[in-house]
Structure 1
């Protein structure tokens, strides 16, 4: 797992003079928003009939949403008709399927500890985007030597482009596992 503190030099390139702790805090917030918006931290879990439907959530993470649920035959179930999802990440299966496979997303908690282990793929592939997100917030701080609203807006757009790119990658990976459904036209 990667440490977010390894991205501090990238933040300093964008926002000179910032203290390490300030950069670390904003990197944590940028990483959290990146993961939430991109839905890149996807997980899969099988739940058998009679089991509690609590989804496994990594330490220092929270449940975001269920993308889709497949029954034992690989058919996609319908939310509210075949299963229910609570806000804390518990899936209640209503259908008669003996086992279901749940595809869901998690994101880091809002306040992360300093020794937080971030996802390697995200940190390695979108390091610049996460640093852009941290820098965009730092550059908006009033009465500092590095305050620059125009640069802040520029880095915010780059950060948004970064998590949109990650969202596309995540959706394409999930679509490979989702069964294609035939449409019936009348």
Structure 2
């Protein structure tokens, strides 16, 4: 289960640069920025499984009643014969089909099916992952300020401020991405074996 928190604690950081915006506008901008941060960094991950699935079954990564959703698969693996052991990593298009960011369909039966995936807040969320507030509050605040300063025709519109804040946000989610890669037991990239015939 992912720890969630209210984005309200970031209001003071955002209000240092943006004045005149209503609280609900700031909250909406923080949630949208958190979605972008989660997509760019792959920081917040969750798992599903082990579950037993039959060929043709759909697997929902996150139930619809949660304030977040699955976004991108990191690793999918399954064991057909011996429950309790990690099976081989499965291939998209061969072993399963990804129907959406939050749903996939398996093409074969598995005694134990597991998936590791990136999550992000839903568009309707009123909470964001706690780790963003704990570890990356300044990056999130800078991204929110940049997003709001880019809004045309508002009292707080300021393209120059948006251009100044955006790099801090990008640096934040890049740092989070590096941290996630360094602290993950497996590499998401697997170089396939090249089979060649020599004369």
| TM-score, length basis structure 2 | 0.76
Structure 1 residue ranges without an equivalent (≥5):
none
Contact 1:83 / 1:94 at 8 angstroms: preserved in 2? yes
Contact 1:14 / 1:135 at 8 angstroms: preserved in 2? yes
| TM-score, length basis structure 1 | 0.81
Aligned length: 182
More helix by share: 1
User: Cα gap change, 1:160/1:25 in structure 2, threshold over 3 Å: closer, same or farther?
Assistant: same
Q: Does residue 138 of the first structure (1) align with residue 148 of the second (2)?
A: yes
3-state SS of paired residue (1:25):
helix
Cα offset for 1:79?
1.2
**Which residue number in structure 2 is paired with residue 55 of structure 1?**
61
3-state SS of paired residue (2:100):
coil
CA RMSD of aligned residues (A): 2.7
Contact 2:62 / 2:69 at 8 angstroms: preserved in 1? no
Cα offset for 1:48?
1.2
Alpha-carbon distance in 1 for matches of 2:19, 2:142: 13
Q: Does residue 165 of the first structure (1) align with residue 179 of the second (2)?
A: no
**Which residue number in structure 1 is paired with residue 73 of structure 2?**
66
Alpha-carbon distance in 2 for matches of 1:156, 1:24: 18
Match among 80, 93, 109 for residue 80 of structure 1: 93
Match among 13, 32, 44 for residue 47 of structure 2: 44
Structure 2 residue ranges without an equivalent (≥5):
80-85
Alpha-carbon distance in 2 for matches of 1:99, 1:125: 34
Q: Does residue 34 of the first structure (1) align with residue 34 of the second (2)?
A: no
Contact 2:31 / 2:127 at 8 angstroms: preserved in 1? no
Q: List per-residue Cα deviations over 1:5-61 (Å, max 9, x = no partner).
A: 110000012334444333222112211221222222211112213365222346122
Contact 1:69 / 1:102 at 8 angstroms: preserved in 2? yes
3-state SS of paired residue (2:116):
strand
3-state SS of paired residue (2:119):
strand
Q: List per-residue Cα deviations over 1:137-171 (Å, max 9, x = no partner).
A: 22233455543211211111211121222222233
Alpha-carbon distance in 2 for matches of 1:143, 1:95: 54
Match among 114, 122, 133 for residue 132 of structure 2: 122
**Which residue number in structure 2 is paired with residue 93 of structure 1?**
106
Alpha-carbon distance in 1 for matches of 2:101, 2:26: 31
